[in-house]
Amino acid sequence: MLDGDFPVGLVGGVPVVTTPEEMDMVNAPKLDAALREAASGGHGVLVADMTRTQFCDSAALYTLVAAHKRAQAEGGELLLVIGSAAVLRIFTITGADRVIASFSSLDDAIARIAQRIHRPSA
């Protein structure tokens, strides 16, 4: 995968966008396009797998928050998988960690989705 590419795939039936090592104002439009593509399948919930990402600027952060808000408006959400302490720190400092749920592994994010789908109705 070339830096700046955002492949979209399915993991356990959930759309997953894999992010590159750096996400910034240069590739934020590609991130937006990939997140929109992932959401277009009507799944409601999607995941941004940021385990490779070591740098995330405000443009990319804004793109992720906007995608989360779009998903919420349609009854879904965006979940993040963050592997880098530096990237997690950006989300904490900006308060985005209180807006978008994040996980340390893709398996944990997919398990969270599975719990919600299989939760019995009250």
Closest CA to 18 of 66, 45, 51: 51
Dist. CA 98–CA 76, nearest whole Å:
16
Taking the mean position of all CA atoms in its chain, how far away is CA 24?
15
In this structure, the dihedral spanned by the alpha carbons of residues 79, 17, 106 and 24, taken in order and rounded to 10 degrees, is: -80
| Mean pLDDT of all residues belonging to the chain | 91
Q: Give all domains of the chain, ordered by start, each with its CATH number.
A: 8-118 (3.30.750.24)
Sign of CA dihedral 90, 93, 99, 104: positive
Please state the pTM of the whole predicted model: 0.89
What is the percent of the chain with per-residue pLDDT over 90, rounded to a whole number?
A: 81
Contacts of 29 (CB under 8 A, 6+ apart): none
Span 49-99, pLDDT tens digits: 999 999 999 999 999 999 999 999 999 999 999 999 999 999 999 999 999
